[in-house]
Chain A
Amino acid sequence: MNETLPEGTLQLPPQWSTIAPEVDAMYYFIYWVSVVFTIAIFGAMVWFMWKYRRRPGVKSKQPGHATALEITWTFAPLILLVILFHEGFTGYVKGAVAPEDSLEVRVRGMQWNWEFEHRGGVIDDLNYLRVPVNTPVRLVMSSSDVLHSFFIPTMRVKRDVVPGMYSTLWFEATHRTPDITCESDEQCPEAMWCGKVPPGGTERKCSLPIFCTEYCGAPTGITASAFSEGGRNTNHSTMMGDLAVVTMEEYDAFIEEGPPPPPECESADDPAACWGENLHSNYCVACHSVDGVAQAPAPNWKGLYGNQRQFADGSSATADENYIRQSILQPQSQIVQGYSNVNMPPFRFSDRQLDAIIAYMRSLNE
């Protein structure tokens, strides 16, 4: 059942995308050009070094004029360079312009995680990107803090992710990633790593690594690798993600249902509230506390549900399901009084996720 996976070479990782063969062909072309030049130059050097080593009684000869030779080796390489440039540029344009019918995925880089939002506002688990096989996928990327760069070696794509602007890249994966459970990288096929537990799963799976290649710092006190532990990344060198290539059917099913609840919530007393708590600790805990004590920088969630809200523009409303839903999807539509100096970013959750958050808020009031 395992279709054969692409294999890499000593120099380049396996080719997982449609553009990879072209990029590699260019790479090997210039590689062989370099090898020829290196052998020619080193060969001449070594030969002269041997032949004209200093010997008693043998004097050096002074060079005469060799203008023809000089002009030849000044301009002959130009032809080669023009070819290199032309091939490289056409390849680049192909990689830069996405096909019309590409599927779009929004990517948000932040210190030190990647967030992926799919069609219909479905946000997948943090650092987990799934794409359908044999379909061009266009990533529209932005950063909420510093520079990052999105890099998938097996797809031969890379693009800086810049705050204050959108950048895009596209690729078309040619193989589905096999379902292999793992505990360490060695158990995974070439150029794959043992990624995190996929959303809704219970065991870690091999996936294609996504790297951040623009330096983005680290907080103090980070010592151990976060790779094997899953969860949130801690610094530039662990700002990685999992790329899972799935079939179109699997992808569509995922979009229909949104990301599944974490498996540990299935057996919880209140599965919805458990999921909501999980979402809170992934996305909201930085600003919102839930203990009813701490206030800044955002309203406390304890006692929020059903409460009367006072807004900065003087109006007011009751915090019911619809209000909370809107506060999450469009936070700027009404600003709670006293909190106008921090901007809450909009979150796009599936209906099931929103229900889970509301269930969690309600459970805080009990």
Chain B
Amino acid sequence: MTAEVAPQPHSSAHDESEGYLTHERGLKSWLFTLDHKRIGLMYLGSVLAAFLLGGIMALLVRTELLFPGETLMEADTYNQVFTLHGAIMVFLFIIPSVPAALGNFFLPIMLGTKDVAFPKLNLGSFYIYVLGTIFTLIAIIVGHVDTGWTFYTPYSARADSSVIWMTMGVFILGFSSILTGVNFIATVHKMRAPGLHWKRLPLFIWGIYATSIIQVLATPVLAITLFLLTMEKTLTVGIFDPALGGDPVLFQHFFWFYSHPAVYIMILPGMAVVNEVIATFSQRKIFGYMFVAMSSISLALLGFLVWGHHMFTAGMSEYATMVFSALTFLVAIPSGVKVFNWVATLYQGSISFASPMLYSLGFLALFTIGGLTGLFLGILSVDIHLHDTYFVVAHFHYVMVGGTVFGFISGLHYWWPKMTGKMYNETLAKIAFWFVFIGFNVTFFSQFIMGSQGMPRRYYDYLDQFQPLHMASSGGAYILGVGFLIMLFMFIKSLMSGEKAPPNPWASAGYEWLTTTPVHPHNFAEPPVMTRGPYDYHLCTEEELWDGFPEDFEKQAEKA
């Protein structure tokens, strides 16, 4: 069907020659927009705000832990702060970051189509996200949520009632994820431009597609779990609380049945971005394209079978433990395949170290460490010692921050010119990168050692022997914080006074760079037909890989 799309004349009143940012004006044109690009930007604004809030919480946590005993706040406040840090970062920032913000913006463009399959549903998902955020904020402002982002029962079942607000918030956010997932799956299946067959699909799309599958399959379980928790709290039905005849370990099964796949909801999009960036800045097709694409799908599926590895100390049967451990090791295979292929992509490339590439190379390094330390936790006898210590905290920050957040930021730098039509100051961007990269490693590497020495997580207070390492970790967090502030300044400066961006500043063969900058309201003035793959540098014309303005290319051509 899509193959028959013909250029359609437009009768609408607004000016088509302008970009999507300016062709309609006024608040209403944003709030009621059905344009996936504007919805993407609204998501981007919200997730960045959430990131800022979660980041402030992180700094409060690290400051409190500078010294044993009270540094800033009392124990109960601390417990609320680390809960909010986790919940905000996971549910409001990381999960929607790449798929909802960057995915919304670029998925249709990279498919060469005008919009997602269901534009109204897309706007609906955004407002559901906003509603969920409001619930969560209410819980934060009026309430007292100190359960940790995992909401383990029976503690959460007995805690203050604002936990209900929080879980309702997360429940609603879940629906936003599900609907976005459905929308993306439909779009990928039905809306690809002529010539864009599955073997040409950009790896970013493969990653988002795999993520959407998990979102649609796993999120309902979280919703049910949180719903049951709410029922238990409001109607005192015994489900998870043993005092009411429930089973607390059941909650953990439910929770991780969602939350382990959610780890892949978080990491796959990060990997998806990295594919695009590494290809562009090496000017080379991703090595083993089909293996990389399939590794995303197998991660998505394997991710459903390993939730029990979060519960090795919780008292499952020895057999269940054995099976979960074995399956967990299998996850290492597709992750390894990705890393090997990315490294092999660099081979015989033409590598530029622009800021997006720095973040993607950073991703590669940090994800490797994050992944390998995951093996420690998969080994049963070793996990018994490391479980619920700072080793685990360090491991998942290497994967979630070193992986997903680095991927997200890499993508943000990479696509910034396309989204805003402005360039940014590359020197500042590189300075920010080094602060972030070094700060991150100082913060979390020290936590590996703390953890293997036995420092438990979620501790307000600790033994003197851990003090030097806590101090180092907090120092790293400040460096990290400074890095993000420089980045914020750099982006704001770009918005205010950045130079105008050419359509393809990175000389990429990717489909999203084929269109004008700022992007045409309908993505492409003419519906494109794909005649080559998104990484076929050897098939690109010089004009396609021209990184300046089209006018200049003509001048250059004339000269020659």
Contact = CB atoms under 8 A, between A and B. Distances in A.
A185 interface: yes
A33 B332 CA distance: 14
Contact of A185 (B389, B454, B457, B465): B465
B461 A225 contact: yes
A186 B465 CA distance: 8
Contacts of A61: 284, 348
B389 to A, nearest CB: 7
A213 B387 contact: yes
Interface in A1-51: 8, 10-13, 19, 22-23, 26-27, 30-31, 33-34, 37-38, 41-42, 44-45, 48-49
Given A54-B350, A54-B351, A238-B461, A88 B381 contact: yes
A184 interface: yes
Nearest to B448: A11
B337 A52 contact: no
Contacts of B375: 30, 33-34, 84
Given A84-B329, A237-B75, A48 B453 contact: no
Nearest to B452: A11
Nearest to A164: B242
Max chain B C-beta neighbours (<10 A), residue from A22, A74, A156: A74
A213 B315 contact: no
A32 to B, nearest CB: 11
Contacts, number: 287
B460 A235 contact: yes
Interface in B94-110: none
Max chain A C-beta neighbours (<10 A), residue from B457, B463, B538: B463
Interface string A82-123: 101101110111111000000000000000000000000000
A217 to B, nearest CB: 6
B489 interface: no
Nearest to B249: A162
B449 A11 contact: yes
A222 B364 contact: no
A69 B247 CA distance: 49
B33 interface: no
B315 to A, nearest CB: 5
Max chain A C-beta neighbours (<10 A), residue from B74, B158, B247: B74
Given A11-B449, A13-B453, A59 B243 contact: no
A306 B406 CA distance: 74
Nearest to B291: A70
A12 B452 contact: yes
Q: Which interface class (under 10, 10 to 19, 20 to 34, 35 or more) fits B?
A: 35 or more
Given A147-B155, A167-B315, A30 B351 contact: no
Grouping DSSP codes into helix (H, G, I), strand (E, B) and loop, the B interface class, with mixed when no group exceeds half, is helix
Nearest to B373: A34
Contact of B454 (A13, A31, A91, A93): A13
Contacts of A49: 346, 351, 353, 361
A77 B372 CA distance: 12
A92 B285 CA distance: 44
Contact of B460 (A34, A70, A184, A218): A218
Nearest to A61: B348
B456 interface: yes
A85 B75 contact: no
A219 B351 contact: no
A156 B459 contact: no
Max chain B C-beta neighbours (<10 A), residue from A147, A191, A224, A234: A147
Given A11-B452, A52-B282, A63-B344, A221 B74 contact: yes
A48 B336 contact: no
A84 B155 contact: no
B325 A217 contact: no
Interface in A184-225: 184-186, 191, 193, 209, 211-225
Interface in B334-377: 336-337, 339-341, 343-353, 361, 364-365, 368-369, 372-373, 375-376
Contacts of A41: 339-340, 343, 364, 368
B372 A34 contact: yes
A217 B373 CA distance: 28
A213 B333 contact: no
A58 B457 CA distance: 51
A137 to B, nearest CB: 16
B138 interface: no
A193 B379 contact: no
B318 interface: yes
A63 B285 contact: yes
Contact of A70 (B68, B69, B288): B288
Contact of B372 (A37, A164, A235): A37
B287 A66 contact: yes
A236 interface: yes
Contacts of B321: 92
Given A26-B379, A52-B350, A63-B284, 19 more contacts: A8-B453, A11-B449, A34-B372, A42-B365, A49-B346, A54-B351, A63-B348, A70-B337, A74-B333, A85-B378, A88-B379, A89-B322, A91-B381, A164-B242, A185-B464, A215-B79, A220-B76, A236-B75, A236-B460
Interface of B: 68-70, 74-76, 78-79, 146-148, 152, 154-155, 158-159, 242-243, 247-249, 282-285, 287-288, 291, 312-315, 318, 321-322, 325-326, 329-330, 332-333, 336-337, 339-341, 343-353, 361, 364-365, 368-369, 372-373, 375-376, 378-385, 387-389, 449, 452-454, 456-465, 536-538
